[in-house]
Amino acid sequence: MKKFLACLLSAAMVLGAVGCSASSETAETEAQTETTEAAAAESEEETTAAETEAAQTEANPEETAGEISDTVKQLYADFDKSMEEQIGPMPENFGEIKVGAVVISLTNPFWVTMKDCYIAAGEELGVPIDVQTGTTEGDTASQLDVLMTMADMDYDVIIVSPIDGTNLIPGIIKCNENGVKVINLGPGVDTEALAEAGGYLDATITVDFAEQGETVANDMMERLPEGGQVAVLAGLAGAGQSEGRTRGFTETIEANDSYELVAVQNCDWDATLAYDATKALITEYPDLKGIFCCNDVMALAAVEALSAEGVDGVLIYGVDFTDDAKAAIQEGKMTGSMSYSSARYTKAALQMAVMLNEGETFDSNVYLPLTLVNVDNVNSLEGWK
C-alpha cells in the first residue's frame, strides 16, 4: 500500500511538472507572438513613412536633394507661379520628342551649370535633350557650325542661346526650312535681322537684361548715399545680355546727379581683360566707388585686381551668381550678383519645347523673375540653383 501511494504521488508530481512546463511554453509563445506583431506593425509604419518620403521626393526632387531655405522655397513658388501664368501647365501626356540645345561656351561656369540643369530637367520631365556648344565664348563661327549640323539631324526642337544677335541666323533659317522648331533662350537673337533674312523664332524665354542693370544700380546707390564715381565692365560688344545690362545700369546711374559714370569698358567676358581693365580704372580714378561687371567671371577678376593693388571699399557686382561668386559675396569680396533659377529656367524651356511639339504657340516672350543676391541675403539662399 505504501509502495502504491508512493508511486501515485510520484506520478502526480510528474504530471504537475509537465503542466507547469506546458503553461510556461504557452506563455512564452504568446509573448513571442505579441513581440512579432509589434515588430511587424512598427515595420509597416516605417515602410509607410519611407513610401511617403519617396513620393514627396519624386514630387519635389530639388527640395529633398539638400537643405532648401524658406527664402528659396518662396522664390521657387514665385517662379512657378510666373511660369504658370505665362506658359500654362505642363501637358500630362505628350508624344515622343527629341530636343537639342546650343549654349555659348563651357569655359563659363554659368553655361556649365545650364548644361547640367538641362540634363536634369530632361530626366525629370522624360524629355531627351542633347546640349552642344562652340569652342569659346567669342567663337561665333564654331557656334554656328554646331547649329548648322544639328539642323540636319532628327531634332524636333532646338533651343539656342547665341553669342551675339546675328551669328546664329543662318542656322535658325536652316531649322525653319527643315521643320525644326526654334526657341531662343537668354541672349537675344536680332529678330529684325532674322526676319529680313527670311527666318523666324517659334518662342523666346529670357530675362529682362536692362532690369538686371537697373536693379544693380539701385542697390549700389543705396550703399553709396554720398554718390561717387562708378564704372561698368561690359561683355562682348553686340551681345544682347551685355548691351541690356549696361543700358539699364547706365540710364539709372545717369539719372542721379550724385554719381559719375567714368567708364564703360568692353572686356568680352574675359577674366584677363577684366583684371587689366580694373587695374587701369583704379589707377586713373583712385576715388572709384563701384564697378558693375556684366558677368561673374569679370567680377571675380575685378576682385582679384583690387586685392593685388591693396584697394578696399570698391563695391563689385556681377551677374549669374556662380558658386565662386557666392563664396566671394559671403566673404565680403563682392557686394552682389544678379540671379535667376537656372534649374527652373531650363525646365520651363523644355516644357515650352514639348508644348510647341504638341501644336501650342507662344505669341509673346516669356520672362523670368529676377533676384539680386547681395551681402545682406546671401546666407538665406541655401539650396538656390
* Topology given in CATH for the domain delimited by 210-339: Rossmann fold (3.40.50)
Q: Looking at residue 137, what is its pLDDT? A: 84
Measured in degrees and rounded to the nearest 5, phi and psi for residue 103 equal: -100, 180
Q: Looking at residue 111, what is its pLDDT? A: 92
Is residue 128 within 8 A of residue 97, CB to CB? The reply is yes
Which amino acid is located at 191 in the chain? T
Which amino acid is located at 74 in the chain? Q
Is residue 235 within 8 A of residue 296, CB to CB? The reply is no
**Packed helices 70-87 and 342-357: angle between N→C axes, nearest 10 degrees:** 20
Distance CA 146, CA 314 (A): 41
Q: Looking at residue 282, what is its pLDDT? A: 97
Planar angle of CA 175, 176, 179, nearest 5 degrees = 85
Cut 0.85: pTM above it: no
- Other CB atoms within a 10 A radius of the CB of residue 174 amount to 19
The residue count of the chain comes to 385
Q: Write down the domain spans for the chain.
A: 67-207+341-369, 210-339
pLDDT tens sequence across 285-344 = 999 999 999 999 999 999 999 999 999 999 999 999 999 999 999 999 999 999 999 999
**Tens-digit pLDDT string for the chain (385 aa):** 333 333 333 333 333 433 434 344 444 444 444 444 444 444 444 434 344 343 334 444 444 445 899 999 999 999 999 999 999 999 999 999 999 999 998 988 889 999 999 999 999 999 999 999 988 888 999 999 999 999 999 999 999 999 999 999 999 999 999 999 999 999 999 999 999 999 999 999 999 999 999 999 999 999 999 999 999 999 999 888 999 999 999 999 999 999 999 999 999 999 999 999 999 999 999 999 999 999 999 999 999 999 999 999 999 999 999 999 999 999 999 999 999 999 999 999 999 999 999 999 999 999 999 999 999 999 999 989 8
Q: Looking at residue 27, what is its pLDDT? A: 42
The CATH class for the domain spanning 67-207+341-369 reads alpha beta
Relative to beta strand 366-367, strand 336-339 is unpaired
Q: Looking at residue 66, what is its pLDDT? A: 56
Distance CA 317, CA 337 (A): 5
The end-to-end CA distance of the chain, in Å, is 98
Q: Looking at residue 136, what is its pLDDT? A: 86
Please return the burial class of 25, using the count of CB atoms within 10 Å of its CB with bins 0-12, 13-18 and 19+.
exposed
> Same fold for the domain at 67-207+341-369 and the one at 210-339?
yes
Is residue 232 within 8 A of residue 274, CB to CB? The reply is no
Q: What cell numbers appear for 374 in the block?
A: 547681395
Q: Looking at residue 67, what is its pLDDT? A: 83
Task: Identify the CA nearest to 242 among candidates 334, 138, 345.
Answer: 138
